[in-house]
Structure 1
């Protein structure tokens, strides 16, 4: 099978032959054809469960991942999983999966019954264990008036995981929780609702990415009036309003801003890209946040000779008309045409 068109982000005419699950340059190219992305990427999704505390279901996992695939999402990072099985190979008909072990929750943090519950003193060693897949996810804070994981504990955790060759995602929503995650050297801040903008230069310098998860918080805002806790409502509203200038300021400061949905149904990365555009990211940067930039951040190749044969094709340039992301013309995963 031959794939040709205009590759993004380079806008270079390319032509590849599919060799198994790899792309091989064909030696010829044309400016005719479709606009090609190396697959959309959702860097914050939890396939396999739908409610906090649910037991992992591989049937649900497959359904979620197939929904991602149908939307052109060919890579998914799952920062925090309820799946206890450590030796299960990825299903070859599903999007590529970058995953962590179980969420790590210290006392008073996270949904009751969800994640692996540990004491703060156990966090560094537990994080190394859960990072066996490459990532671990630490619940760094929780409710607005609750203290976050102490900075010294979080720093020791990040250092231990990095020494073992892993990476650390930190759930953080309070100002202090975000601060501790940045100062500890976390690889990604998940949510970052009340992030202090003075920390952005440090994030950029040390390579800490921001995953704002607008899609998830948009649902919270829709349902906020149902809450009875006025302090909580004020905190969520304030975080939502703060998230927009934060994403824009982070991008302008050189922070890697990425598209992660953290919501259901799966396959909603195009909507998350739209939120990033509304926040003020340039369209090309927003599309990259849900495609080539995210893939590079995860260590995956783009549309290059020897790269993965994961390609989504569109009739129009998504950086000129991002709405076309909702209408993929062709989807190729691991060298197989799925749409």
Structure 2
């Protein structure tokens, strides 16, 4: 009896999206297929090709996941941009908020970062819709916003965040927050999200050796505080548990789209106001500017050869006597002589 052929395998990127759409971790999917987490990661990155019975089991499982969530995997033929954005948001926002929480340790900042990233995605929707990994585009934007050093100057982010209720989760989160931001981001992407090393390096804008070095140092730092997390498989599971136990919610897609449109209108009005002010300033300058050239007044120069002006000195005794005599005489002088007749 001939065995029926297994369904064809989708591309590696679609395999990972099918697993994430079913809310399955790599460990859970590996247990259902009968392989290790590293094997699942290699299949999803395209480094290895499934073969034999494992391939058949993997292909059937992916086919089942695709049938169980057709709305998330199939693209309607008449999908509007708003519907496509809402579908992407519903699919990626919950996981991105949990991942961003691992980066920041702040629930509100994680939600704000993801919403701001989706708002930018809606503003650049034609570009994001054509991207081969729209979730990766939003994730990179959210991580950049969440790790911005300017947040420490905000008043509400100066207040301490309530820690996780689980002591083990609280210790793990403290260990993550002690890492430098590039190391923390590399660890979350590789051991938390499940990206391979080249994808992690590309998203963190680093070379593959640099990303590998950051990953090893981050793992060593976490293992120093929590020796039981020295195994990458255990670390991956604990990161997933820490992110899933927190109650992190994101806004609805229409709210995010409306916020993006308000920001776009505000920037447009600000640009128009700045342009009008610039035109008015230019017109006023042209109105009040001189119509002919007036040379500047040259600076003063020293002139030689001019005799020095000498002040009069003290009066002598004869001069003082003459001055007193003149003061004593009548102002009209001596009497006028009158000629006589004769």
TM-score for the superposition, normalised by structure 2: 0.25
TM-score (norm 1): 0.25
Higher strand share: 1
- Between 1 and 2, higher relative CO (CA 8 Å, sep ≥ 6) is seen in 1
Higher helix share: 2
Between Structure 1 and Structure 2, whose CA radius of gyration is higher?
2
